[in-house]
Structure 1
Amino acid sequence: MSLFKIQRAKKNSGHTNHRLRCVLWALSLAISFVGMPIFALGASYYEGKTLTIVVGYKPGGGYDRYARLYARYLPKHIPGSPTIIIQNMPGAGSIIAANHLYSVAKPDGLTVGTFNNALTTAQLIKVEGIKFDLTKFSWIGSLASDAVILTVRSDLPYKTVEDMRKAKEIVVGTTGPGSSTHDFPAILKEFTGINFKLVPGYSSSSDVMLAVERKEVDGRAGSYDSIKPFIERGLVRPMIRNRTAAEGIEKLPVDEELTTSAKGKAIMAISAVPTKMYRPYVAAPATPAEIIKILRDAFANASRDKRLLAEAKKGKLTIDFSPAGEVLKIVREVLSQPPEMAQEIGKYIKF
């Protein structure tokens, strides 16, 4: 069941024609690059051009903050120093952005993008509106891995999981199904006996945190990296994490340890896999190898840039770059789940 209205896809013939045009475009680029050194290609190809980073969420959230950070440093790591702009394309848990990157963006290396890492799970359970195959993107890598945690306001009396189990109701704000802000507490509610009331509809994780500050909701879940500054401020208290550990929350109760349900443990384990690629980046399918190598090298080198790392640290953003090959392994691990497991996951995770 989809909770989002997603624009209807073009007719199959239109998609086929578009994919054919993309392949022909990529082929023509590849032919023109034969024999050209990579550095020469990069310097000549990107000089005077604009590289667009598509972000599947509105400004202000974690995906947007990472994109804007990298946009400031990538030009010096790409021969030709292109201008870089951000195009926010929110909607449907970033499915709209992923569809755009897959079927609309040209395979010319001038458009890259980032979307919800949980789209791996969305593809596995065949969410309505998906018009992409994650295995066919031209993968660049992932900027970070991250834990997913659940927090409550520090002024509330909940200090242990048992305290939360005794609560009549704990209100958790979310951006909607398909995001860690929603799915993590939804699965906890189903399998741990904690009565969370989920309030979806916030347009970004930063808006959810604003609701926490205003005491409109009792807590929020999501990326530890995004929530950490608010923990340090004393606004929220971390309560539960997934199996992905991070410095400072190693001793938090792990979701899988809080249920006796074998099905619940399995769903929690599979749901945690995409957090190893928490900030994924791709280019369009069939982007020529010469161009995708330039982009991969640029993102990898930017991730080691001392000035970028200093700014990331100041902004409480963790950089932990994973190359394309490692990310694709994670994607395939999720998508290789048997149909019966996909069916079970689909009962609890919605987009």
Structure 2
Amino acid sequence: MVYPNPSTSRNGRRGGKRMLKKFLPGTVLFLLIPLISHAQDYAFFKGKVISYIVATKPGGGYDAYARLIGKYMQKYIPGSTVIVKNIPGAGHIIGANETYLAKPDGLTIGTFNTGLIYSQILKQPGIKFDLTRYSWIGKASSDLRVLIVGSKTPYKTIKDLIASKEPVKFAASGVGSSAYNETIMIAEALGANIKVIPGYSGREGEMAILRGEVAGTNGAYTGLVSFIKTGEARVLLQIGAKKHKDLPHVPLASELKVSPKGAALFKLIEAINELGRLTGAPPNVVPNRLAVLREAYKKALNDPGFLKEAQMMALDLDPAFGEDVAKMMKEAVNQPPENVNLLRSLIKFE
């Protein structure tokens, strides 16, 4: 016996249509729920102010990145207002604490330097944060580090600096900042007689070089490039995976003949500075709101207008996002015992 195919019979077609009519509205609603929910997540930010904390004074590299990123994040969170709030002090610790301890409602984000990785590893007093617990939004670049001196100093090459018998003064921001910690590490790696003078925030280190108070400083190339291009400073050394296109004749730290200890220090600096220009929020931000912030940050850093302005401002970009940054941070903080002991032998928080 041959049974009729319901899909081809008249009754089957009618039944199928009835089922389809019942099925379609439910299916459409089911598919729309995530879209409606996502729209509601964005709606939360409408009419709200997002505070973007910068843990240094206005005018430096962190400030420049934050103001540009904030401008374009605002574009991708309709109805919101992103305001940059500068909270300097204690080598970025005060601003980082403020970000970490803020209400996790998605209305506070912050940026601070990677020197705080060293500070956490070494348990620096005053820290109220755990870098592995921030709600990471992204990072904008990998910070090539450069060692610079004033163009009027007698140091023409890195060999001249190493050969100095007199202590060579280098400006740094607060104790615990990248510039402070890494200048100590660089001095040890090179065997150079460098004396670190903390307390210079934002552009103050550059002004100190011009006044002759210090001979040089260490920092991210993107933060120092405008000063270098004035001709008032020369670059003696760069620390990174590869040479910057602007610095083809400046030696990389990896090209120098140094001790195994020195090589380990340079490698550690290079690894940590992969996490350049971080942006994070307090721990336990409402997940859907964190997703909005991450999405807006990613769209901002890929916006053609943003890319054009970043190029005009000589801001290098090497972004990473969300959980990828969280994973990188955990790896950076969880250093092997030999690296921790090496850092403890060099860096003292007095």
TM-score > 0.5, shorter chain as reference: yes
In the other structure, the counterpart of 2:286 is 288
User: For 1:279, what is the secondary structure of its paired residue?
Assistant: strand
Distance 1:243 1:310, change over 3 A: closer
Paired letter, 1:76? K
Q: Which moved more, 1:34-43 or 1:69-78?
A: 34-43
In the other structure, the counterpart of 2:7 is none
In the other structure, the counterpart of 2:212 is 215
In the other structure, the counterpart of 1:225 is 222
Counterpart contact for 2:118–2:181, Cα < 8 Å: no
| Alignment of structure 1 residues 1-351 onto 2, 5 Å | 37-78=36-77, 80-103=78-101, 105-169=102-166, 170-204=168-202, 206-245=203-242, 246-258=244-256, 260-350=258-348
Paired letter, 1:117? T
| Deviation digits for residues 51-85 of structure 1 (CA, Å, limit 9, x no counterpart) | 1111111212111121112222221111x330111
Once residues 51 and 177 of structure 2 are traced to their aligned partners in structure 1, the CA distance between those partners, rounded to angstroms, is: 24
Once residues 117 and 235 of structure 1 are traced to their aligned partners in structure 2, the CA distance between those partners, rounded to angstroms, is: 26
Counterpart contact for 1:191–1:259, Cα < 8 Å: no
Q: Which moved more, 1:321-330 or 1:109-118?
A: 321-330
Once residues 302 and 279 of structure 1 are traced to their aligned partners in structure 2, the CA distance between those partners, rounded to angstroms, is: 14
User: For 1:276, what is the secondary structure of its paired residue?
Assistant: coil
Paired letter, 1:50? V
Once residues 129 and 343 of structure 1 are traced to their aligned partners in structure 2, the CA distance between those partners, rounded to angstroms, is: 21
Distance 1:218 1:135, change over 3 A: same
User: For 1:249, what is the secondary structure of its paired residue?
Assistant: coil
Counterpart contact for 1:172–1:217, Cα < 8 Å: yes
| Structure 1 gaps, min length 5 | 1-33
Paired letter, 1:164? L
Distance 1:40 1:201, change over 3 A: same
Counterpart contact for 1:148–1:244, Cα < 8 Å: no
- Larger Cα-atom Rg: 2
Q: Which moved more, 1:307-316 or 1:277-286?
A: 307-316
User: For 2:268, what is the secondary structure of its paired residue?
Assistant: helix
Counterpart contact for 2:114–2:178, Cα < 8 Å: no
Distance 1:350 1:86, change over 3 A: farther
